[in-house]
C-alpha cells in the first residue's frame, strides 16, 4: 500500500504533475478534486504505476484513461481515433454564431463522433450522419452516441468523405487531416495518434482538394459547411472553396489563430441567404 501524496510526488518526478493527478484519479475511480482532498488515502499502486509508465513512454493521457471531454461531453477515445482538441470546439462556436437552425447535419471524417455529437447536443431537433473510412473509428463513434443518449438521432456509415452520398444537409462539419507530411509533431501525437487522421501530403492540402468539389452538392440551400484548417492554410483553402463555387469567412480560436472556415454557396449571398 502507498498513500496519495507520496505517489503523486514520485510520479511528478517522471511525468507532468497534472497528468499524474488525472491518472491517479482514474485509477482510484474518483474525480481529481476528491483525490486532492484526500492526500493521506492509502491504495494499492499497481494500476497507477502502470498508467505512469505508459505516460512516461509517451502515450497520450486520453488513450490511457480512454476518455476525453469535448464540448462538455464525456467521450470514449481509443488509438483508432484522433483525440478531440479544445481548439476544434471553434467549429461548433462558429456554426452557432451564424444563427443557423439545422435539421440535418453531416460530419465528414467523424472519428470519435465529437463534432457531430456536440452539434446534436446544441440542436435537439436535428439528426445527423457521421462518415469515416475507419470501421474502428465508427465503432467508437457509435458507442459515444449510445452513451450520450443520442443514438436515435445519429447514424454512422463508412465512406470516403462525401463520395456517393445523396441528400443535402443544413450543416456540414469536418476536421480533415491537414498536417504537412514532413511537419514536426510532438512525440505523443506522432507516435500514437492515427497518421491517416493527421497527414495530408506535402502541403497538408490533399484532403481539402478532394473535399471541396464534393461540398456544393451536399449543402442544402442556405446551408453552411464549417471546416477546420491549419493556422497557415486559410488563403489556400478559401481558394479551393472558391473554385468549387463556395465563399467563406475565417474564424479564429481562443489563441487568435485561424482555426476554421465557414462556407456557403456563392450564389446564396446573391440571393440573400
Q: Which domains does the chain have, with CATH numbers?
A: 2-57 (no CATH), 79-270 (3.40.50.150)
Of residues 158 and 186, more confidence is placed in 158
CA-only gyration radius of the chain, Å: 20
Residue 46 to residue 67: CA distance in whole angstroms: 20
Residue 245 to residue 49: CA distance in whole angstroms: 55
Residues ≥6 apart with Cβ < 8 Å to 53: none
Q: Which helix (H) or strand (E) holds 240?
A: helix 234-243
Q: Measured on CA atoms in the order 123, 127, 130, 135, is the torsion positive or negative?
A: positive
What is the tens place of the pLDDT at every residue in 154-176? 999 999 999 999 889 999 999 99
Q: How confident is the model at residue 268 (pLDDT cuts 50, 70, 90)?
A: low
What is the tens place of the pLDDT at every residue in 64-76? 999 999 999 999 9
**Helical ranges in 46-104 per DSSP H:** 46-56, 61-65, 89-97
DSSP annotation of 34 reads: H
CB 43 within 8 A of CB 6: no
What is the tens place of the pLDDT at every residue in 217-226? 999 999 999 9
The mean per-residue pLDDT over the stretch 98-109 comes to 97
**Helical ranges in 191-232 per DSSP H:** 206-211, 215-218
The mean per-residue pLDDT over the stretch 197-211 comes to 93
Residue 66 to residue 79: CA distance in whole angstroms: 9
Percent of the chain whose pLDDT exceeds 70 = 98
Residue 48 to residue 264: CA distance in whole angstroms: 49
The mean per-residue pLDDT over the stretch 89-101 comes to 97
- Nearest one of 97, 115, 91, 129 to 253, comparing CA atoms: 91
Percent of the chain whose pLDDT exceeds 90 = 84
pTM over 0.75: yes
Strands 169-174 and 154-158: unpaired
CB 263 within 8 A of CB 241: yes
What is the tens place of the pLDDT at every residue in 224-240? 999 999 999 999 999 99
Amino acid at each position: 500500500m502507498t498513500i496519495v501524496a507520496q505517489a503523486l510526488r514520485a510520479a511528478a518526478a517522471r511525468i507532468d504533475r497534472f497528468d499524474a493527478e488525472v491518472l491517479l484519479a482514474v485509477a482510484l475511480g474518483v474525480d481529481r478534486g476528491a483525490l486532492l482532498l484526500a492526500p493521506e488515502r492509502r491504495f494499492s499502486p499497481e494500476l497507477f504505476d502502470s498508467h505512469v509508465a505508459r505516460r512516461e513512454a509517451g502515450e497520450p493521457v486520453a488513450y490511457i484513461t480512454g476518455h476525453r471531454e469535448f464540448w462538455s461531453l464525456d467521450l470514449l477515445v481509443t488509438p483508432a481515433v484522433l483525440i478531440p482538441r479544445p481548439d476544434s470546439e471553434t467549429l461548433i462556436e462558429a456554426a452557432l454564431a451564424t444563427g443557423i437552425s439545422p435539421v440535418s447535419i453531416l460530419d465528414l471524417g467523424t472519428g470519435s463522433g465529437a463534432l457531430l455529437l456536440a452539434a446534436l447536443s446544441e440542436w435537439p431537433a436535428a439528426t445527423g450522419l457521421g462518415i469515416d473510412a475507419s470501421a474502428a473509428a465508427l465503432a467508437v463513434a457509435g458507442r459515444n452516441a449510445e452513451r450520450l443518449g443520442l443514438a436515435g438521432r445519429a447514424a454512422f456509415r463508412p465512406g470516403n468523405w462525401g463520395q456517393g452520398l445523396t441528400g443535402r444537409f443544413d450543416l456540414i462539419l469536418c476536421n480533415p487531416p491537414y498536417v504537412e507530411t514532413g511537419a514536426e509533431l510532438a512525440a505523443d501525437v506522432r507516435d500514437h495518434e492515427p497518421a491517416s487522421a493527421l497527414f495530408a501530403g506535402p502541403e497538408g492540402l490533399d484532403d481539402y482538394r478532394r473535399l471541396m468539389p464534393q461540398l456544393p452538392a451536399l449543402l442544402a440551400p442556405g446551408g453552411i459547411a464549417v471546416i477546420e484548417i491549419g493556422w497557415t492554410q486559410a488563403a489556400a483553402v478559401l481558394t479551393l472553396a472558391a473554385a468549387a463555387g463556395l465563399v467563406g469567412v475565417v474564424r479564429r480560436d481562443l489563441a487568435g489563430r485561424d482555426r476554421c472556415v465557414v462556407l456557403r454557396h456563392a450564389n446564396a449571398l446573391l440571393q440573400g441567404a
